[in-house]
Amino acid sequence: MKEREAIEYIENYKGLGIVPGLDSIQELCRRLGDPQKELKFVHIAGTNGKGSVSAYVATVLKCAGYRVGRYISPTIFQYRERIQVNDRCISVKALCEGVELIREKCEEMTEEGLPHPTPFEMETALGFLYFREKKCDIVVLETGMGGLLDATNIVENTVAAVFASISMDHMKFLGNTLGEIAAQKAGILKKGCTAVSTVQKPEAMNVIVNRAAELECPLVVSNPGEASHIRYGLENQLFDYAGFRKLQISLAGKYQIENAVLAVDVLQVLREKSFDIPEEKLRLGLKQTVWPGRFTVIGKKPLFIVDGAHNEDAAKRLAESIEFYFTNRRIIYIMGVLKDKEYEKVIGLTHSHADQIITVATPGNPRALPAYNLACEIAKVHKNVTAVDSLEEAVEMSMLLAGKDDVIIAFGSLSYLGRLMEIAATKYGKAVKKNGKSGKNKRGSKAASGRNR
């Protein structure tokens, strides 16, 4: 089996859609020898911010000398990004061998009349296999959607259950109230673990507090309001927190202070659980953390920023950062969304900051809202909107429209941002940074689309 064949085997089952529940993943992993039972986890749930938090935690642990597995969703540049050990993607060889074994077990299941596992279930099992093979000291594991019935939730050895910001998203599967959604997220709590949550809206916070109490899990509530001496910036940001002075992060966006504060509290919990994380390694890891596509500056003159604001809460955070960083600057948007998202709310929260809006559709993604349909929706509230046929055209038009002191912001679904970043980077004469390294995709690799974004 070659890399393309392995990826196609998994993607051929996309038609199964999202199937909440643990029976299928439990059966698949049982047939694979339950690799997840030999691993320890930092399990992270949340609507927005969980990727940034996982990036901070994983990078600090790596700097402290640990072998760290990381499972993320969605990805930006290529399929293999979703499974990493110390920032290195799963190898082609391991991917192909792992998928061959998983195919064999899936075929056994279907022959016995059991449902075929979904792509996410197969990918999750593949991640567990790879992390066991690499003898990871700990795995930083992001949920795909929700928590309670998410395929990642078959793990048992949870050291810390972490809750980034919880808001309304995936209501079809998770519930129609914030409390119902929070109850799904809180499903990742396990007896013996420590819960760490950023300050949530009261309805969500109450659910986490009560569930942690039921399971007798200690709860640490991370309060970004306790961060002080904050110095914001687009290339680095400084803050004091938890007795540490002048912690530095390289990720931009006003909201990244909240994510970094949560990560610091998670790392403090790990220290209490005998993980050796010296202060200098904590500082170094925070500073070195890279997380592409989250208010990421990819070019200057004009300033070009990409951000994965794909739902109401993320759009609020994007608007807040725009107001903070770019007062009195002329702004041009490139915007692309998925048709099953609440894009009307995203438009409502962001349109007023733009002078011109260019709409795109994610190439080859059946969930993408056509650029013309998105432009028609935006035209109800903004007069300067243009639909284009390709990402190349969107980048070209935005740079023609922008003066050297203007700002271009591409946002919406993460599923198109990787390719757009590569196109834009060529205009600035440089390669895009991926997981801390520069370089283009290898020939034949496929830029991955976001599963839920």
Helices (H), 277-416: 279-288, 312-325, 343-350, 371-379, 391-401
What's the token pair of residue 180?
Answer: 């119902």
The CA R_g of the chain, rounded to the nearest whole Å, is 21
- CATH superfamily assigned to domain 296-431: Mur ligase, C-terminal domain (3.90.190.20)
Question: Smallest Cα–Cα separation from 310: which of 293, 324, 326?
Answer: 293
**Of the candidates 82, 115, 76, which has an alpha carbon nearest to the alpha carbon of residue 98?**
82
Angle, CA 69 vertex, CA 187 and CA 45 arms, to 5°: 25
**Per-residue model confidence as pLDDT tens for the chain (453 residues):** 899 999 999 999 988 877 888 999 999 999 999 999 999 999 999 988 899 999 999 999 999 999 999 999 777 888 999 999 999 999 999 999 999 999 999 999 999 999 999 999 999 999 999 999 999 999 999 998 889 999 999 999 999 999 999 987 665 667 779 999 999 999 999 999 999 999 999 999 999 999 999 999 999 999 999 999 999 999 899 999 999 999 999 999 888 999 999 999 999 999 999 999 999 999 999 999 998 888 999 999 999 999 988 888 889 989 999 999 998 899 999 999 998 888 999 999 999 999 999 999 988 888 899 999 999 999 999 999 999 999 999 999 999 999 999 999 999 988 889 899 999 988 887 655 565 443 443 333 333 434 445
Looking at the DSSP bridge assignments, the partners of residue 84 are 70, 89
Contacts of 193 (CB under 8 A, 6+ apart): 43, 158, 159, 160, 161, 217
The span from the CA of 144 to the CA of 121, in Å, is: 10
Q: Dmax over Cα atoms in the chain, in whole Å?
A: 64
Residue given tokens 């200098």 in the structure block: 280
Quick one: tokens of 141? 């594991």
CA atoms within 13 A on the CB side of 2: 3
Q: Among 360, 425, 361, 424, which Cα is nearest to 396's?
A: 424
What is the per-residue pLDDT for 432? 58
Dig out the tokens for 178 from the structure. 């914030």
Least Cα distance to 61 among 255, 269, 293 occurs for 269
Neighbouring residues of 407: CB distance < 8 A, sequence distance ≥ 6: 302, 303, 304, 305, 326, 329, 330, 331, 332
Sequential DSSP letters for 235-299: S-EEEEETTEEEEEE---STTHHHHHHHHHHHHHHHHHTT----HHHHHHHHHH---TTSSEEEE
Q: How many CB atoms lie within 10 A of CB 374?
A: 24
Per-residue model confidence as pLDDT tens digits over 418-441? 899 999 988 887 655 565 443 443
pLDDT at residue 434, rounded to an integer:
60
Domain ranges of the chain: 3-288, 296-431
Q: Assign a CATH topology to domain 3-288.
A: UDP-N-acetylmuramoyl-L-alanine:D-glutamate ligase (3.40.1190)
Q: Cβ(96)–Cβ(79) under 8 Å?
A: no
What's the token pair of residue 53?
């938090």
DSSP codes joined into one string, 140-200: EEE-SS-STTSGGGG---EEEEEE-B--S--HHHH-SSHHHHHHHHGGG--TT-EEEEE--
- Domains 3-288 and 296-431 in one fold: no
Helix ranges restricted to H, 41-84: 50-63
133-162 pLDDT, tens per residue? 999 999 999 998 889 999 999 999 999 999
Chain segment 180-207, per-residue pLDDT in tens: 999 999 999 999 999 999 999 999 999 9
Distance of alpha carbon 236 from alpha carbon 257, whole angstroms:
11
